[in-house]
Structure formats: C-alpha cells, structure tokens
Copies of this chain bind each other. A is one copy, B any other.
C-alpha cells in the first residue's frame, strides 16, 4: 500500500517570456490539474523581480509546484497526486505542451510506501 506518486520534472530550454508570466503559468497549472481529473483547492503565486515566478496549486489529491528561472530558460516543477484517479504523468504531459521545453528530465517517486508499518512495535 502507498499514498501516491510524486513526479519531479526539470524543463530545460523553455521560452523565457513564458517563464516570466505568472498569469499564464497559473492558468496552465490549474487547467492541467482539472483536465487530469484533480479537484482544485487553492493557488498561491509570486513574481520575483527582475524575473522568475514561483507558484503552488493545492489540489485535494496533493499539489503542483513550479519555480521558473528565465535567465536559465529553466523551470523546476513537481506534481504529487494521491489516489489512482489523477496521474502526475498526465499533468506533466499537459505542461510540457505549455512550457515547450527542448529537454525534459523526470523522476517519479512512490510516497508513503511503508504505510503498513506497525506504529506500536
């Protein structure tokens, strides 16, 4: 038994203008969440000056997070979903279509995989 899957995605060589647009990024993250079947709870975004955006989307199934570095054409994202309905790989694919990175590196970890552990031992 496990709680969910946590996918970490590094998007390299994105278009710098997109990485500096908090409204578009927030819109695309919330849209990817709901398209993937997640239930949206809260969003929280911040624009750095002179550049960069950080943001988080809370969903009933856990969260999405993004941190962009336009100066490196790079964005660090992660998608954590509990349960079986929402697949973090679907969210990732949808956001690759938005961010259009030339290079993507992902790693997917299982969260809470030792839940059967007996706490009273």
Contacts and interface: CB of A to CB of B under 8 A. Distances in A.
Contacts of A69: 3, 112
Interface range on chain A: under 10, 10 to 19, 20 to 34, or 35 or more? 35 or more
Given A54-B63, A63-B54, A119-B102, A8 B10 contact: no
Contact of A74 (B62, B72, B109, B115): B115
Nearest to A12: B117
B56 A46 contact: no
A107 to B, nearest CB: 6
Contacts of A94: none
A67 interface: yes
A62 B46 CA distance: 11
Interface of A: 3-4, 6, 8, 10, 12-13, 41-44, 46, 48, 54-56, 58, 60, 62-63, 65, 67, 69, 72-74, 76, 78, 80, 82, 102-103, 105, 107, 109, 111-115, 117, 119
Which 8 residue pairs across A and B have the least CB separation, nearest first?
A13-B119, A44-B44, A56-B56, A76-B111, A42-B44, A41-B46, A12-B117, A62-B67
